[in-house]
Amino acid sequence: MTLTLPQARRLSATVVVLASLALASGCDKLTNRLGLTGQVAAVAPQPIGPERMRVLLPTRGAQATLAPVARSGGTTVWQTLDGITLSFRQGVLVGTRGLGDDLMTSGITNTLAMVDGKLDGMYYPHVRSYLDGEYQTEFRSFQCRQQARSREQTSIGGQVYVTRKIEERCVSPRDEFTNTYWLNTSGEVIKSRQWVSPAIEYMETERVQR
C-alpha cells in the first residue's frame, strides 16, 4: 500500500485535538528541563483513562509520565502539566506540540501496515510536516522499509514481557532515522524509540502501570 503526496497532504490537514492535562505535577520533569513552561497553556488534569506513558528525550536529559486526555479517529492524545501534547495512533507517533521543533503531522498508514506484516521487505513512502522559520508548513518525504523483525524479552517497570521487536528504517536526502517498536502478545506497542525531528531527535516511550 502506498501513500501519494495529495493523500499525505489531506492526512496532514487533520487537526490534533488539544485537550486537558493529564499529569500530576510531581511526575513532570520534561517542560522544566526544556524551558518551555508558559509557552503552552497549563490546565487542570482531566485524564480519560488509567493508562500512563513514560517518555524520555535522551538528547535533552528530560523525562515525564503522561496520561491520555483525548481520543479522536483512532488517535490518542497524551499531555503533560504544562500543556505539551504527544499524539499516537496504535503506538505510532503522529504529532507533537510544545517541544519546539515539533512534528506537526505524520502520514503513518504505511507504517501501520508494515507493523502488521503487510509490507515485508517493501519500500514505501512516508511524509511528515514541520513548520519552517517563517511558520509555513514544510513537507518532508522519506522512503522507508522494515529493517528487522524479531522476538525479544524486554523489561518495563520491573516486569519482563515477551515482545515482537520491529525496526523501521527511513531515509531522505536531508535526514535518516530508525524507529523501533516493541509489541506485546496482543499486538499493542508497549515500548518504542521514535524519531521526532532534527532538533529533538529520538523519543523513547514505555506504557506503564498507574
Burial class (CB in 10 A: 0-12, 13-18, 19+), 115: buried
- Which pLDDT does position 43 carry in this prediction? 64
Q: Please, what sign has the CA dihedral across residues 15, 30, 55, 194?
A: positive
Predicted confidence pLDDT, tens digits, the chain (210 residues): 444 444 433 433 332 322 232 333 333 444 444 433 334 456 655 899 999 999 999 999 999 989 999 999 899 999 987 889 999 999 999 999 999 999 999 999 999 999 999 998 899 999 999 999 899 999 999 999 999 999 999 999 889 999 999 999 999 999 999 999 999 999 999 999 999 999 999 999 999 976
**How confident is the model at residue 157, as a pLDDT?**
87
Q: Which CATH fold would you assign to the domain 5-208?
A: YmcC-like fold (2.40.360)
- pLDDT given at position 31: 43
SS3 173: coil
pLDDT at 13: 36
Cell of 188: 499493542
DSSP string, 90-151: TTEEEEEESSSS---EE--HHHHHHHTTSSTT--EEEEEEEE-TTS-EEEEEEEEEEEEEEE
Number of other residues whose CB lies within 10 A of the CB of residue 33: 14
Dist CA 55 CA 206 (whole Å): 7
Angle at CA of residue 194, ends 142 and 129, nearest 5°: 45
- Going from N- to C-terminal start, the domains of the chain cover 5-208
Look at residue 121 in the predicted model and tell me its pLDDT. 87
User: Within 13 Å, how many C-alpha atoms sit on residue 47's CB side?
Assistant: 16
Task: Return d(Cα 157, Cα 208) in angstroms, integer.
Answer: 7
Cell readout for 181 is: 517498536
